[in-house]
Structure 1
């Protein structure tokens, strides 16, 4: 978390035509990379320069919201409100991002969709700890990143499906059920999926 983070993608890059910014990526059952097996990822930005997303269904073990506030020396502890913590992805695992409803934003927030935003400043943690901040949010350590054309190649190789986000998928507490919920939203039975499926 930083006071002012200038490295977040621009809002424009997250929603260019033909790109999947704001969508939820769902790992196909044949996903070989153990870091992404059965993951549900909110894709926060996608452009010709690459893509960036937050895994929303891998809880962060061994650290609580209170622990994080103590590390960052933020008050009050105990906080008036808490949000859950997750492993956002394998890139920059020590860096924090809050994916949240966009009823609260700061200067450095990235608009992901009309309903969601991403903030990487400690201001949002102060607001939440003090009882304010966005209505819903999840704090992720790290993120998932793709270079130019990499995500498109993985989609062509049947590694990912995409679905529209909803608050249960993003902010719900049942992390172990989110992958199946996302598949159900696509009206897909994971048992019937094959990594060798063709493209319509």
Structure 2
């Protein structure tokens, strides 16, 4: 499932994940790791990682990648250079790669299509994500590269569901509080 999206179903009311879109970066028997793509924080990237603001995709703020490890940062790059000899980016899944945030940010200019910096991440222990999937807490859908650096993260949940068509497109119109439906 690495490289795919976990889209929170309306029944997932945990405030950490309500209406989130998670890019799953790694998934295996020992657990899973991802980043929430649609939770921008009111914090400039440069306030945490000086020099990185100018190379991040618009809107250029820091994103809350999830409730785990909030004192750490993860950089996710998308593009043709991911896995193509760029030493500052480790390929993860498909067009997505992890950025070495100790490197010179200027090394990425013109070499990736998009870049986001996340404070924290979403993590699941072995079997935990599978249990949540069995409980129908998440829809699993294909990611488009631009999902990871969309200029409109606030509308990503609805847009991802709408492009699926059928019943998922209908779910995109659910009110934030499903008891109001």
Match of residue 45, structure 2, among 60, 65, 68: 65
Tell me what 1:25 maps to: 6
Tell me what 1:37 maps to: 18
Instruction: Report the secondary structure of 1:34's partner residue.
Output: coil
Match of residue 81, structure 1, among 55, 62, 82: 55
Instruction: Report the secondary structure of 1:69's partner residue.
Output: coil
Tell me what 2:74 maps to: 97
Cα distance in 1 for residues equivalent to 2:125 and 2:7: 19
Q: Over aligned residue pairs, what C-alpha RMSD do you find?
A: 2.5
Instruction: Report the secondary structure of 2:112's partner residue.
Output: coil
Asked whether the equivalents of residues 64 and 118 of structure 2 are also in contact (C-alpha less than 8 Å), the reply is: yes
Cα distance in 2 for residues equivalent to 1:110 and 1:37: 28
Cα distance in 2 for residues equivalent to 1:171 and 1:23: 15
Cα distance in 2 for residues equivalent to 1:42 and 1:67: 24
Shift of 1:116: 1.4
Distance 1:66 1:121, change over 3 A: closer
Match of residue 160, structure 1, among 138, 141, 147: 138
Shift of 1:69: 3.5
Tell me what 1:121 maps to: 101
Distance 1:34 1:124, change over 3 A: farther
Query: 2:163 aligned with 1:185, yes or no?
Result: yes
Gaps of 5+ in 2: none
Shift of 1:135: 2.4
Tell me what 2:35 maps to: 54
Shift of 1:161: 0.4
Cα distance in 2 for residues equivalent to 1:124 and 1:144: 26
Asked whether the equivalents of residues 77 and 98 of structure 2 are also in contact (C-alpha less than 8 Å), the reply is: yes
Shift of 1:100: 1.0
Q: Which structure features the higher share of strand residues?
A: 2
Gaps of 5+ in 1: 1-19, 196-200
How many residue pairs match? The answer is: 165
Tell me what 2:129 maps to: 151
Shift of 1:81: 3.5
Cα distance in 2 for residues equivalent to 1:81 and 1:53: 21
Asked whether the equivalents of residues 24 and 164 of structure 1 are also in contact (C-alpha less than 8 Å), the reply is: yes
